[in-house]
Amino acid sequence: MKEEWDNHFESSWKNFEELFKNNFPNMQPMSGASDVGSIEQYIKNTMDSVFKNGFAQGNGFSNVGPGLRSDVMDTLHHVIAKVYIPEGVDPYQLMVFVNNQSIKLGGFPDQQKHVVKLPFPVVPRNSKAVFKDGILQVRMKKLAMEDQYHEVNVDFI
């Protein structure tokens, strides 16, 4: 029974390696399933790459644009975005626009608009923004599930 299991595992592992050999660029061929050091190194390299390049938008650290970083968090009823404004930007010139899926920031010296995508739909009219110590914080109420549908009148002809 054990020999049958070992053969099955070895065959499955070889199939796995063959299938994914080009999909894991940092992974080197392994001498066996017990080579924990190479697995640890692969995970470390992958995590280093993720933290060096920033996360895709969602919860957590994200690059918004050149020189801008943001951190988007959600609570039970709110989405909170913190945008780290670089030195040299006049906070009194900042313009903040919110729609139900993103925040658009303007008023930068380069005249560019920067967009922060939100992980949940929000109610734009209830948004509040504060600036303190180089951080712009925008707090937005989440759109309740029952608010996502709007009644449509039916015309009878």
Look up the pTM and report it: 0.55
The pLDDT score that the predictor gives to residue 35 is: 64
State yes or no: pLDDT of 50 exceeds 60. no
**Token digits for 31?**
């001498």
Q: Cα separation of 82 and 73, whole Å?
A: 8
Residue-wise pLDDT for 52-108, tens only, equals 544 433 444 455 666 688 999 989 899 999 999 988 889 999 999 999 999 999 988
How deeply is 69 buried, as exposed, middle or buried, from its count of CB atoms within 10 A (0-12, 13-18, 19+)?
middle
- Supply the pLDDT for residue 102: 93
In the DSSP assignment, the letter for residue 76 is S
Structural domains in the chain plus CATH codes: 2-53 (no CATH), 60-145 (2.60.40.790)
Return the residue matching tokens 């015309």: 155
CB atoms near residue 8 (< 10 Å):
10
pLDDT at 115: 92
